Amino acid sequence: MLQVPFIRDHQELIVNRLKKRNIDASKMIANVIEFDEERRQIQTELDNTLAESNTLSKEIGLLYKTGNIDEANLIKEKTVELKVKSKHLTERLNTTSEGLKELLYMIPNVPNEIVPSGNTEEDNEIVFQGGSSPELSKNALPHWDLAKKYDIIDFELGNKIAGAGFPVYKDKGARLQRALINYFLDKNVAAGYKEVQVPHLVNEESGYGTGQLPDKEGQMYHVNSNGDNLYLIPTAEVPATNLFRDDLLSEKDLPKAITAYTPCFRREAGSYGAHVRGLNRLHQFDKVEILRIEHPETSYQALDAMVSHIKDILEDLKLPYRILKLCGGDLGFTSALTYDFEVFSTAQGRWLEVSSVSNFETFQANRLKLRFKNSKGKSELAHTLNGSSLALPRILAGILENYQVDEGVKIPDVLIPYTGFSMIQ
């Protein structure tokens, strides 16, 4: 959430930058200023009313002590009027403040100046491409056929249990899945990230803290039996970032770097076709996340380090990949700058997104009230960053498709110590 003082001082910049998202924010920004002016006026009137009431209360006490009871009673009637007035003003202030907050919730983060303009995937900027695609035999299969052939993922059984988008991993498929999770966590821990295990359900306040609510409410599974009002997490970013909600950190405690494995749940309704077949798009999937709480002066160096870290993992897996700088129209609601990683599926002949790495600057921290005391002893909003390291379904799809040979599917060398086998047959 953008800060009101920032909006007041940078109205033109915000409107111009949000044009990168193809949003005309001029009316929203004007409404914020109008709400804030009203809130300030009410607050000033309320403060004056309370101050007058306090002054009169002291005067009443002195009048009673000196025996001026009639005069004291007259003033007392005035204080009753002031209390009624202050109650009315407090109600108006709360209504105006709530309206301002709801409006602020609807304004996305301001894109960084280096975010490309554009509205489609074609407008994303390719900043790096690595690895090489294997030459597959003419009998090469997409991963959903390989999964059936080797009986390692059962989409029909998952559909029987829960519905479409909830696969069952079996035998070497399950072991490969577990191997990837352990490998990713070990790589992240070795890079200085502290591993945590977090809840898979979060409350509404947590959803608002990281910006999933109200923006992505329709994509989240809502658990409301007996008034629970909980949400299944769409990513470990939500509970992991909320570990720091309402915290006031010391500058020397920064940065905070954590990693977490969780299942993730997304409704992803209304998508059909080959581009979402098999593991390409699921309602439940596994993901390992990395997250950082950074000083504002170092957050973009940290973003570059996160990109480099994920790049190293894909190099280890020897998968063909590319890195994209997302254009404004493809940028997530809370992000100031995002890099996407895609793996090329040779069997499908298309790129599959496997990671997004983002700097949210102060956008989430403002919602979370996540601050630190700087070197001058003043409270300051931290910067939050997170990235997939990595999302498993499309990585698994990429391994199955790019590592297939006539005899079966080879396992990447780096994963063999984790799987205990070198081939799926």
Q: What is the pLDDT of residues 180-231, one digit of tens each?
A: 999 999 999 999 999 999 999 999 999 999 999 988 888 999 999 888 999 9
| pLDDT number for residue 306 | 98
* Among 242, 255, 243, 257, residue whose Cα is nearest residue 193: 257
Task: Give, in order, the Cα–Cα distances in Å from 418 to each of 111, 197, 285.
Answer: 40, 20, 20
CA distance 91 to 157: 55
Q: Which residue has the tokens 């003043």?
A: 378
343 beta partners:
321, 352
Q: Name residue 382's amino acid.
A: A
Q: Which of 151, 155, 37, 158 is nearest to 97 (CA)?
A: 37
Per-residue pLDDT, 218: 86
Helix axes 171-190, 392-402, angle to 10 degrees: 120
287: phi then psi, degrees, rounded to nearest 5:
-155, 145
Catalogue the E-assigned strands of 153-193: 153-154, 168-169
Residue 204 three-state SS? helix
As a whole-number percent, the residues of the chain with pLDDT over 70 amount to: 98
Quick check: 269 pLDDT over 60? no
Closest-CA residue to 166 (of 272, 275, 267): 267
Render pLDDT for 83-121 as a digit per residue (tens, 0 to 9): 899 999 999 999 999 999 999 999 999 999 999 999 988
Distance CA(274)–CA(55), nearest Å, equals 74
Q: What does DSSP assign to residue 228?
A: -
> Each residue of 330-353: b (16+ CB within 10 Å) or e?
bbbbbbbbbbbbbbbbbbbeebbe
What local confidence, expressed as pLDDT, does residue 274 receive? 52
Alpha helices in 191-290 (DSSP H): 204-210, 237-242
- DSSP-assigned letter for residue 66: T
Which token pair is 74? 């007259």
pLDDT digits (tens, 9 = 90+) for 335-359: 999 999 999 999 999 999 999 999 9
Domains assigned to the chain: 4-105 (1.10.287.40), 121-424 (3.30.930.10)
d(CA 217, CA 225): 17
